[in-house]
């Protein structure tokens, strides 16, 4: 793929009005092109805001909405473009068309404005050579919209907006619910909060939200679910460490770990620190938080500081015991391991572009290494909670079955009356897997 100007010096940044749709379309096209080339969306966004720190919140919001929406629609735009183009256009023009098609699908009532602004954006890309092509493609898409929709709805990838291997895997593993799982992966994620019980009572937090006219309800596990997401700056009590943003499904972890005051606890893959903080909010424990990435480990410390909590935080690969373990066993271990993130794809829609089928086996091998290493530092009679944000069996039930076969001194402790717990993504929470392992005394 040909190199493109840095975002800080791109034509869109200097020519287009910052509050225009054309600016948002061109900037989003640049981000999508990064992902198509194999880049990570989180890193691309960080680079963008670093290059353009004065971007107004409203403009940021428009760019984020277009970026996440376009990536959640993965597969559909390319199916339509393949019918309207003889061959793909150079980037970022091809991605500009992806973004414009997403916008046309979600805001059909403003079709004329969208086409006009997309053409204006195209004039700033690749010396404007494809301005006429963009205009023609989008007008053809409007004229043929009914026919294109019928064809897209009949195509597996265009309908479900996931890669073929992903669809087949879910269809095989979840014959009754695979469509619902895929549909959930294409939706806007819910926004849930966790109350820091060391600084606030739930009733106080609920009163603050009522006063701010932010409808919220308490779920069975104590999570607070907002009726609609809002910027963190609008969350009452966030800056004071009274609440944290954490998916409701992730908030089961601290409860399932069976904590008690005085325990020595290890959070082995801790960043960014949500579950670490929740453990410390629930019990007075001696906690060591590890993360292999030093930058991400600093985020754990920052989160603890905001919440008024304390733990030892170290940057280390938990598999390399010689680098961090002092020989003292842990009574509880949280193993929130790296995974495909297939249960949180609506929050990270670039994953659908970047993951490959064989990545699942690679993650599974890494998870097995982590489990085997951590088992060595768990005290006899201790418990280890295995967690992923995946819905794939290879990383979840298959992984735990293989582990218990390798370790006869391990047994599964039932969770809510079941051997394990697989949460599937829905309107209230993301997809998570939990299994609690106990070591023979």
How high does pLDDT run on average in the chain?
A: 95
- Contact present, 114 and 62 (Cβ < 8 Å): no
Q: Is 425 found in the same domain as 279?
A: yes
Q: What's the mean pLDDT in 375-389?
A: 98
Instruction: Report the alpha-carbon angle 95-362-375, nearest 5.
Output: 135
Q: Is 295 found in the same domain as 237?
A: no
H helix or E strand, kind and range, residue 192: strand 192-195
Q: Is 203 found in the same domain as 156?
A: no
CA distance 56 to 95: 24
- Whole-angstrom CA distances from 193 to 242, 284, 344, 428, 441 are 10, 22, 16, 12, 37
CA distance 42 to 45: 5
CATH code, domain carrying 65: 1.10.940.10
Provide the domain count of the chain.
3
Q: Is 254 found in the same domain as 241?
A: no
CA distance 205 to 309: 19
* pLDDT of 2 above 80: no
Q: Is 328 found in the same domain as 268?
A: yes
Domain boundary residue among 222, 245, 268? 245
Query: Which residue numbers are catalytic?
Result: 389
Q: Is 278 found in the same domain as 203?
A: no
CA distance 244 to 256: 19
Q: Identify the burial level of 429 via C-beta atoms within 10 angstroms of its C-beta, where 0-12 means exposed, 13-18 middle and 19 or more buried.
A: buried
* pLDDT of 8 above 90: no
Domain boundary residue among 228, 245, 262? 245
Per-residue pLDDT band for 1 (boundaries 50, 70, 90) equals very low
SS3 for 22-78, per residue?
Answer: HHHHHHHHHHHHHHHCCCCHHHHHHHHHHHCCCCCHHHHHHHHHHHHHHHHCCCHHH
Q: Is 263 found in the same domain as 232?
A: no
DSSP category for residue 418 = B
Q: What's the mean pLDDT in 205-210?
A: 97
> pLDDT tens digit string along 27-83?
999 999 999 999 999 999 999 999 999 999 999 999 999 999 999 999 999 999 999
Q: Is 271 found in the same domain as 200?
A: no
Strand 243-245: give its sheet, edge to edge: 216-218, 224-226, 192-195, 243-245
CA distance 411 to 413: 6
Q: Is 358 found in the same domain as 281?
A: yes
* pLDDT of 391 above 60: yes
What sections of 111-189 are H helices per DSSP? 111-122, 131-143, 145-153, 156-160, 164-173, 178-185
Residue that has been written with the tokens 């992984």 in this structure: 399
> pLDDT tens digit string along 369-381?
999 999 999 999 9
CA distance from start to end of the chain:
58
CA distance 357 to 376: 31
The pLDDT of residue 62? 96
CATH code, domain carrying 209: 3.30.70.1170
> pLDDT tens digit string along 319-356?
999 999 999 999 999 999 999 999 999 999 999 999 99
Q: What percent of the chain has pLDDT over 90?
A: 96
What is the residue range of 362's domain?
Answer: 250-439
Per-residue pLDDT band for 11 (boundaries 50, 70, 90) equals low
> pLDDT tens digit string along 125-136?
999 999 999 999
Output the pTM of the full model.
0.94
Partners of 437 in beta bridges: 384, 412
CATH code, domain carrying 334: 3.40.50.150
Does 2 reside within a domain?
no
The pLDDT of residue 14? 72
The pLDDT of residue 153? 96
Does 217 reside within a domain?
yes
Q: Is 343 found in the same domain as 217?
A: no
Q: Is 431 found in the same domain as 379?
A: yes
The pLDDT of residue 146? 97
Residues contacting residue 267 through CB under 8 Å, at least 6 positions apart:
275, 276, 279, 287, 288, 289, 290, 311, 334, 336
Q: Is 38 left (phi over 0), alpha (psi -120 to 50) or beta?
A: left
Domain boundary residue among 160, 184, 217? 160
* pLDDT of 12 above 90: no
The pLDDT of residue 390? 98
């Amino acid at each position: 793929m040909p190199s493109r100007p840095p975002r800080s010096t791109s034509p869109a940044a200097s020519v287009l009005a910052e509050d225009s749709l054309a600016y948002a379309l061109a900037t989003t096209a640049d981000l999508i092109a990064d992902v198509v080339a194999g880049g990570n969306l989180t890193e691309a966004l960080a680079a963008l805001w670093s290059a353009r720190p004065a971007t107004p919140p409203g403009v940021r919001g428009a760019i984020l909405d277009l970026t996440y929406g376009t990536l959640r629609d993965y597969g559909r735009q390319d199916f339509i473009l393949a019918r309207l183009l003889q061959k793909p256009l150079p980037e970022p023009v091809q991605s500009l068309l992806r973004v414009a098609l997403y916008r046309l699908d979600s805001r059909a009532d403003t079709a004329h404005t969208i086409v006009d602004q997309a053409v204006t954006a195209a004039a700033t890309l690749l010396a404007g050579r494809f301005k006429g092509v963009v205009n023609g493609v989008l007008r053809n898409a409007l004229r043929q919209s009914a026919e294109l929709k019928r064809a897209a709805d009949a195509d597996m990838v265009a309908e479900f907006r996931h890669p073929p291997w992903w669809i087949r895997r879910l269809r095989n593993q979840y014959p009754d619910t695979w469509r619902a799982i895929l549909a959930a992966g294409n939706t806007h994620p819910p926004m849930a909060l966790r109350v820091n019980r060391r600084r606030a009572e739930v009733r106080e937090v609920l009163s603050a939200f009522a006063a701010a006219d932010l409808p919220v309800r308490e779920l069975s596990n104590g999570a607070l679910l907002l009726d609609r997401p809002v910027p963190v700056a609008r969350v009452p009590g966030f800056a004071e460490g009274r609440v944290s943003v954490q998916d409701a499904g992730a908030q089961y972890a601290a409860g399932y770990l069976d904590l008690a005051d005085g325990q020595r606890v290890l959070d082995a893959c801790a960043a960014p620190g949500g579950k670490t903080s929740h453990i410390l909010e629930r019990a007075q424990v001696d906690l060591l938080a590890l993360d292999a990435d030093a930058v991400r480990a600093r985020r754990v410390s920052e989160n603890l500081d905001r919440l008024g909590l304390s733990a030892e935080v170290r940057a280390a690969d938990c598999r390399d015991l010689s680098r961090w373990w002092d020989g003292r066993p842990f009574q509880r271990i949280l193993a929130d391991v790296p995974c495909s993130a297939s249960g949180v794809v609506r929050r990270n829609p670039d994953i659908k572009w970047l993951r490959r089928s064989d990545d699942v086996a690679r993650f599974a091998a890494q998870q097995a290494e982590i489990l085997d290493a951590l088992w060595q530092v768990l005290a006899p009679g201790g418990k280890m909670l295995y967690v992923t944000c995946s819905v794939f069996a290879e990383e979840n039930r298959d992984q735990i079955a293989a582990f218990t076969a390798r370790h006869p001194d391990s047994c599964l402790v039932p969770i809510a009356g079941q051997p394990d717990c697989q949460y599937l993504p829905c309107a209230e929470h993301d997809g998570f897997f939990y299994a609690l392992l106990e070591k023979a005394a």
